[in-house]
Structure formats: structure tokens, C-alpha cells
Amino acid sequence: MYLQNFLSIQPPYSSTQEQCFRWLSEAHEIAQQGRNNTQEEYLKLFHRVGCSEQQINQRFFFTPDLKEGDWEHKAIYPVRISARGVSMQERHEFYHKTVRKLFEQIYSERKFPDDIIHVSCTGYISPSAAQMEALKAPQNVTVTHSYHMGCYGAFPALRMASGFLANKEVLGNKKAVDLVHTELCSLHLNPQDPSLEQLVIQSLFADGCIAYSMSEDQPTQGFKLHSLYEELIPGTSDAMEWMVSDWGMKMTLSKDVPNMVGNKVVDFTLRWLHKRGFDIRAIRDKALFAVHPGGPKIIDQVKEKMELREDQVSASRELLRERGNMSSATLPHLWQKILNDDKIPSGTPIISYAFGPGLTICASYMEKI
Amino acid sequence: MYLQNFLSIQPPYSSTQEQCFRWLSEAHEIAQQGRNNTQEEYLKLFHRVGCSEQQINQRFFFTPDLKEGDWEHKAIYPVRISARGVSMQERHEFYHKTVRKLFEQIYSERKFPDDIIHVSCTGYISPSAAQMEALKAPQNVTVTHSYHMGCYGAFPALRMASGFLANKEVLGNKKAVDLVHTELCSLHLNPQDPSLEQLVIQSLFADGCIAYSMSEDQPTQGFKLHSLYEELIPGTSDAMEWMVSDWGMKMTLSKDVPNMVGNKVVDFTLRWLHKRGFDIRAIRDKALFAVHPGGPKIIDQVKEKMELREDQVSASRELLRERGNMSSATLPHLWQKILNDDKIPSGTPIISYAFGPGLTICASYMEKI
């Protein structure tokens, strides 16, 4: 199985981390009617606990709201009128309208495949934008929703795609499966919640949209997919949560997540590669490690525990700096970056990791072509 | 690929259709503070537009609410205190608590597989009850969420399972995949909405929980899975919708859905079986048709357009009568019923259909063993 034909769509709005902090701080002060902290105090808190601007330089968003002022007229966060922002249904209507346009743009620029797997944890509407777009195809396109798995969402979707192509007897002969990630994390902030945990979360997440294809034909430029693997870490189910709540999707995130992952990543990797018959020593030193940049500390942990060189994880750090954490859309952006980097030669092994609620650790072993 | 080892869990509360109508009518009157109709008037409307008690005899529920009276203290629908019922987050907390117990019960009665696919369109929490249960397994169990696809949800999950078993190169050697459906449709009623469309919906849906396994080893009792297929029907995206809303999941349902499906089902079936090289004439007369009993009219439509005998669709009608529409859990209950019916001989072809937002039509061709 091969991955190829990456197409990302840049969201129309961008903010530096400092602009984000200012906007978020003002939203918090107004939404909480000054009960907790002023904008300036929130700004200090964001600088203290949030991801720094050295680590996240800018973030891109599909929501136009993310500027200071005009708190009566924002699309999602008119916090002077509604302290939590607009309702869950209105957030979903915004999501659907935006994602329909994204699918239109994507399939004006590429051919329809046999299957589309729509990956998201930030908006659930059926029929989905993927289904509505699939109807425009000249051939029959099967649409599968791969929803609500969080930052590691690319892996279950890759698992599905690789299976859809493999089982010709039951599913028919399919040539290509597209995976399309549409993550509008910016829809699910809660300006009413003053907890430090929420400030950390709000300092990390951004929006992202990316499509790519899996097929059995070797492309001129792409990845060969050798192996996929996934495990749950015992005793960590409280460490991260993502659930449908009243005003939007609600996230919880323990600050111990990087350590919890760091403590397991070596055993996990050895177990995986041993089970599948790959030689970790042969791969490790020449591989590039595409670590889902959930935050800077998780990259540090994987680098330290796996005893990697900085250049083996530098693409992850760069992507975090350039775009922040786009949930499931992040790793595919990283793969696109690796593909477009001519300094990374064909044949380079790529070990990817992502992490999410469970805690779940997912990994893939691919090879750049 | 084979299906086997069906285990359904009967929800603890049941109501006759007449009891449901009385409860729903009282909930509507109180939630709307008598602005629209009295309980007696709603009861007449339910009898006029709702699915009759000849067609749905009883329904089972995990929510304890579904009795008249005591409207201050209901778990989900305390409509004297909150006209729409409890909040989205509280509904999800109820879902999670209930579904965790269901998974505990399921895996106290069966062995853990290599993979669990959790199928639902009625509750999204991560880590899911499936993930929390998988952690108790002696071996590594990979969990996949197959969420938000509605009544046809068994088909994408079967597609995933058959692929996970087929792609040994990328996914490793897996022996069995469990599919576990947990549908708590009763969490997502809106007693504030007086529209006839909502009364129809509220007359149809029930709760259901069922688990079954897919593997490559032929079982002594089960189904051989020959083929899966799915299409979207052009021009029908407005006919049915399922989206995350403010108080719960919101459904819309046009009364034209049975006709829309009926008008396409013959072409759909011919196209599918022709593409995959099966002879429809050889299969049609001896097959049993497991039609997702979304409502009585869709069974009528499929029977009429496919020119079937009543005995070929009678299992679908019986299941509707015995349990109502349990969304994605319905077809697996029907398969279980067919498996347990000694009058249906081994070798009988089983053609299954399900329908959902898109509109999507899904089908499978299996053979009873």
C-alpha cells in the first residue's frame, strides 16, 4: 500500500501566538464578566502555562473570530451576548458550511477515488460534506466516517483504507481510497472556563484540512506503508478526554500525558516491530521520526526515551511552530512536509507516532519514495 | 469471512407502543406547557401519524424514564424542570455509564478478540467504553470507533472488519474482530418539538445492544459473508439528517424516504450483483431478505419493487414488531434471529439492506451456515 497525492488547504485566517493569547485573554475576561481575571492577568497566565511563541509561531483558523474586539458580532464567540459562544447546533452549522466548501475545493483539484474516508473529531453531521461531494462523482464513491478518535485519527483511517483495498473478495476491486481530514478545533473553545488546563489546551490547537490517497500502485512520489500498530496505555483513561458537551466538544488534558507516553514509547515500539518482524536497530538510526506534535514536551519525551538525534524529530518541531496542533490533520501535514523536503532522500524510513484519548499510542512504519 | 457468536443484551425497560404514546404525549404537553396540544390531542396525533401497535408491539429502553408521571425526577426528561430534558453533556454521561456496563457484561460472557469496532450514532465519548473494556484484555486489542452513520452503521463496520482481517501485511495477523453496537436512541428525543415529523420519529426508535464476531474460520453456526456494497441516492440529501444539536442528536426524516428507496432498490441491487459477478436470478427466489425495518413502509417498498414473497421479508416485520427500530443495532438483531430460526436451512442466501442519511443504501450478500 502506498500514500500519495497530498493536498492541504490553508485556512483563511492566521494569528501569531501572541495575537491568539491577546484574543483569548479578552474573550475570557468578557465571558467571565471579570469574575476571575482581567485580560492582562489572563495574558500573563497564557504566557506562563501556554505553549510559547518560540514553539508555536502561528496558527491558522477557519473561524473568522480570532481577533480582539467586536464581541457582539463574532460568528462563534459573541461573548458579550452569549458567554459560552453560540450553541452546539450553530457551531455544527458553521462546521458543515465550511467543510462543504473544503470538499468542493478538494475535488475541483483532484479526481474522485473509489472510497472517501472522512476523518474528524470536530463536527458530526450526516449526510456529511463528504457524502454530499461524493454524489458529484461520475462513479460510485463509498463514504466512511472515521470520527471521534482525536489526534491519532489518521491511524484508524489508514487501517480502514488499507483494509478496503485489500479485501477485494468482499468489497470489490478498488483502486484508490482518499483520506480527507477536516478539523475545526477553533469551534470548540470555552471562554467561560478559567482553568489552567483549558488555557493550555487553547494555546495548542489550530484548524487543518488535508487530503491524500492510498492505493496499491507505486507512485513516483509518496510513501510505502509497511506497518500500522496501536495500543492503549493501562491506567491512563482519565488523562485525556474528548466528549460531546453542551456548548461544544469538551477536552480534558492532564499535564502528565507527555510523561505517560514517554514511559511507554520504547516498550511499545520494541513490541510492535518485534511482533511484525522488523529490526528496530536497522531502522532506528536512519529513520526520521514523525512525532505528532501535540505539544513540545511530547516531542522531547519521544526524542529522549528513543535516544534520537535532534534532526530525527526536527520536522515535528517545525510543523508545531508553523501551524500548532491541528488534531488528526497534523500528522498528514507532517508527511506532506517530509515528502516535499528534497533533502530527505528516497528510501528514508519514516516512523510516525500519534497519541490521544485512551491513552492510545499509534504508530506506522513507512518509507519515503 | 464469517460472522458468528451473536450476543444481544436486552435493555431493562420495555413499553408497549400504547404506553410509549401515552408517555410521549404527556411529555409533549408538559414540555410545551400546553401551548400546542393536550396529552389527549397528542395521543390522537400519535395514533394518526405514528407507527401503529400492530407494527411495533413493544420497544426496549436503557433509560428508565419512559413511564407517565413524576416529571420532576426523570433521569433524562424531567420536563417540568427542563422542558427539553437534561443537557447534552448529561445525556452523554448517562450514555457512557450505561455503555460501560454493557461492555463489562459482554466481555464477562465472551473472549476478547484482536479488534473491537464500536458502532454507535447515539453517544461520543473518548476514551470510549470500548477502549476502557479493551484494557482489561490479556492481549492487545485495537479499538476503532465507527460513529455517526445512522441506521446503516453495521455496513461500514463490516467493511472495516473484513479489511482488518484481510490486510495481514500492514495490520498483522488477526484472528477475530468483534463488532459491538450500543444504540441509546431514547436519549435523543425532544419533547419540546411538536412537529408531526418528530412524532413519527418518536414512534419508531428504541434502544439496542448487540455484539458479534467476524473471522476467517468457518463456524458451526453463522454466516459466510460474500459481498458488501453501498451507494448514495442522488438528490436525497435533505430527506434524512442526523446531527449533533444543542439538547441531543437531532433527526429529520421525510415521509418520502420509503418511496425514494423503493424507486432505487431494484437498479441498486442489479448494479451491485452484476458488478460483483453474482446471478440475481439464482439468488432472488430462494433468498431471505433482511430489510432494515426502519418502519413498515420501507419493508413494503422493498418487497413490492423486488417482487418478493411475504415470507421472504417476514423476519424484518417480526423484528420491527418485537423491538422497533434500534438504529444500527437492528440488522444484527435480525441476523441473530435468522441464525436462531431452525426453519431457515443452512445454505439460505441472505440479502440485507439498510438505509440512512445520504440517502445511503447499503447491502450485503451472506449465506447461512
Q: What is the pLDDT of residues B167-202, one digit of tens each?
A: 999 999 999 999 999 999 999 999 999 999 999 999
Pairing mode, strands B223-232 and B2-9: antiparallel
The three grid cell numbers given for residue B115, joined into one nine-digit string: 479488534
Asked if residue B87 is part of any domain, the answer here is no
Using only C-alpha atoms, chain B has a radius of gyration, in whole angstroms, of 20
| Interface contact flag, A170 B227, Cβ < 8 Å | yes
Pairing mode, strands A125-126 and B115-120: unpaired
Q: Which residues of B touch A228 (CB under 8 A)?
A: 170-171
Please give the Cα distance from A365 to B2 (Å, whole number).
30
Give the residue from B86, B132, B171, B364 with the most A CB atoms within 10 Å of its CB, the best one to mutate.
B171
Q: Which residues of A touch B225 (CB under 8 A)?
A: 170
- Is the confidence at residue A67, as pLDDT, over 90? no
The length of chain A, given as a count of residues: 369
pLDDT in tens, A218-277: 999 999 999 999 999 999 999 999 999 999 999 999 999 999 999 999 999 999 999 999
Confidence of residue A281 (pLDDT cuts 50, 70, 90): confident
| Interface contact flag, B358 A162, Cβ < 8 Å | no
DSSP structure string for A29-51? HHHTTTSS--HHHHHHHHHHHSP
| Interface contact flag, A237 B127, Cβ < 8 Å | yes
The three grid cell numbers given for residue A16, joined into one nine-digit string: 501569531
Q: Which residues of B touch A242 (CB under 8 A)?
A: 125-126
Residue in the block written with cell 485519527: A153
Asked if residue B148 is part of any domain, the answer here is no
| Interface contact flag, B160 A162, Cβ < 8 Å | no
| Interface contact flag, B357 A245, Cβ < 8 Å | no
| Interface contact flag, A170 B127, Cβ < 8 Å | no
Q: Which residues of B touch A150 (CB under 8 A)?
A: 126
Asked if residue A137 is part of any domain, the answer here is no
Minimal C-alpha gap between A167 and chain B (Å) = 5
The three grid cell numbers given for residue B114, joined into one nine-digit string: 484482536
CA distances from B272 to A52, A268, A322, B229, B335 (A): 55, 43, 46, 7, 21
In A, minimum Cα distance to B139 occurs at A231
Number of helical H runs and strand E runs in chain B: 12, 14
pLDDT of residue A116: 98
Minimal C-alpha gap between A141 and chain B (Å) = 7
In A, minimum Cα distance to B224 occurs at A170
Q: Which residues of A touch B163 (CB under 8 A)?
A: 159-160, 162-167, 171
Q: Which residues of B touch A172 (CB under 8 A)?
A: 227, 229, 275-276
Q: Which residues of A touch B277 (CB under 8 A)?
A: none
Asked if residue A350 is part of any domain, the answer here is yes
The three grid cell numbers given for residue B348, joined into one nine-digit string: 439460505
Give the residue from A2, A126, A276 with the most B CB atoms within 10 Å of its CB, the best one to mutate.
A126
pLDDT of residue A132: 98
What is the 8-class DSSP label of residue B293? -
Asked if residue B305 is part of any domain, the answer here is yes
The three grid cell numbers given for residue B203, joined into one nine-digit string: 414512534
Which of B150, B241, B275 shows the shortest C-beta gap to A172?
A: B275
- A307 φψ region: left (φ > 0), alpha (ψ -120 to 50), beta (else): left
pLDDT along chain B (369 residues), means of 10: 98 97 96 93 97 97 92 95 95 98 97 98 98 97 98 98 97 97 97 95 98 97 98 97 95 96 97 94 94 96 97 98 98 98 97 98 98
Q: Which residues of B touch A165 (CB under 8 A)?
A: 163, 167
Which of B123, B227, B246 shows the shortest C-beta gap to A87?
A: B246
- pTM for the model stands at 0.98
Q: Is the dihedral of CA B44, B46, B49, B55 positive or negative?
A: negative
The three grid cell numbers given for residue B320, joined into one nine-digit string: 420491527
Q: Which residues of A touch B132 (CB under 8 A)?
A: 237
- Is residue A175 within 8 A of residue A215, CB to CB? The reply is yes
- Is residue A231 within 8 A of residue A354, CB to CB? The reply is no
CA distances from B211 to B117, B200, B202, B367 (A): 10, 28, 25, 19
In B, minimum Cα distance to A135 occurs at B234
Q: Per DSSP, which regions of chain A are E strands?
A: 2-8, 13-16, 58-61, 115-120, 125-126, 142-147, 176-184, 207-215, 223-232, 240-244, 249-253, 288-291, 349-356, 360-368
The three grid cell numbers given for residue A86, joined into one nine-digit string: 453560540
| Interface contact flag, A148 B147, Cβ < 8 Å | yes
ipTM: 0.97
Give the residue from A89, A187, A243, A276 with the most B CB atoms within 10 Å of its CB, the best one to mutate.
A243
Which of A121, A159, A243 shows the shortest C-beta gap to B92?
A: A243
Asked if residue B310 is part of any domain, the answer here is yes
> For A32-118, where are the alpha helices, taking DSSP H only?
39-49, 88-109
Per-residue pLDDT, averaged over A176-180, amounts to 98
Q: Which residues of A touch B160 (CB under 8 A)?
A: 144, 159-160, 163
The three grid cell numbers given for residue A241, joined into one nine-digit string: 478526554
Which of B126, B163, B358 shows the shortest C-beta gap to A241?
A: B126
| Interface contact flag, A171 B162, Cβ < 8 Å | yes
Minimal C-alpha gap between A242 and chain B (Å) = 5
The three grid cell numbers given for residue B325, joined into one nine-digit string: 427500530
| Interface contact flag, A170 B250, Cβ < 8 Å | no
- Is residue B283 within 8 A of residue A180, CB to CB? The reply is no
Cis status of the peptide bond prior to B127, with omega within 30 of 0: yes
Reference B332, options B225, B204, B251, B253; nearest CA is B225
- Give the bridge partners for B354, in sequence order: B362
In A, minimum Cα distance to B173 occurs at A276
Please give the Cα distance from B162 to A204 (Å, whole number).
37
In A, minimum Cα distance to B126 occurs at A242
| Interface contact flag, B167 A172, Cβ < 8 Å | no
pLDDT in tens, A289-301: 999 999 999 999 9
Which residues have a Cβ under 8 Å from the Cβ of A325 and sit 6 or more positions away?
A151, A185, A204, A205, A206, A293, A294, A295
pLDDT in tens, B26-63: 999 999 998 999 999 999 999 999 999 999 999 999 99
| Interface contact flag, A124 B243, Cβ < 8 Å | yes
DSSP H or E run through A162: helix A154-166
Q: Count of domains in chain B? A: 1
Give the residue from A167, A247, A270, A361 with the most B CB atoms within 10 Å of its CB, the best one to mutate.
A167
Estimate the share of chain A in helix, then strand, then coil, as percent rounded to the nearest 5: 40, 25, 35
| Interface contact flag, B126 A232, Cβ < 8 Å | no
Please give the Cα distance from B180 to B12 (Å, whole number).
18
| Interface contact flag, B1 A170, Cβ < 8 Å | yes
Per-residue pLDDT, averaged over A112-139, amounts to 98
Please give the Cα distance from B259 to A264 (Å, whole number).
55
Asked if residue A133 is part of any domain, the answer here is no
pLDDT of residue B67: 85
- Is residue A231 within 8 A of residue A266, CB to CB? The reply is no
Asked if residue A144 is part of any domain, the answer here is no
pLDDT of residue B66: 85
Write the burial class of residue B104 (CB in 10 Å: 0-12 exposed, 13-18 middle, 19+ buried): middle
- Is residue A307 within 8 A of residue A290, CB to CB? The reply is no
pLDDT in tens, B144-156: 999 999 999 999 9
In B, minimum Cα distance to A171 occurs at B228
Which residues have a Cβ under 8 Å from the Cβ of A154 and sit 6 or more positions away?
A119, A179, A181, A328, A331, A332, A354, A362
Which of A170, A234, A244 shows the shortest C-beta gap to B88?
A: A244
| Interface contact flag, B357 A140, Cβ < 8 Å | no
Reference B153, options B340, B358, B331; nearest CA is B331
Give the CATH number of the domain where residue A228 resides: 3.40.47.10
The three grid cell numbers given for residue A115, joined into one nine-digit string: 472510497
pLDDT of residue A258: 96
In A, minimum Cα distance to B144 occurs at A156
pLDDT of residue A309: 97
Per-residue pLDDT, averaged over A343-369, amounts to 98
Confidence of residue A118 (pLDDT cuts 50, 70, 90): very high
- Chains A & B: contacts with CB separation below 8 Å: 206
Q: Which domain holds residue B242?
A: 223-368
Q: Per DSSP, which regions of B98-215 are E strands?
A: 115-120, 125-126, 142-147, 176-184, 207-215
| Interface contact flag, A170 B358, Cβ < 8 Å | no
| Interface contact flag, B246 A134, Cβ < 8 Å | no
Which of A134, A147, A164 shows the shortest C-beta gap to B148?
A: A147
pLDDT in tens, B10-24: 999 999 999 999 999
In B, minimum Cα distance to A152 occurs at B144
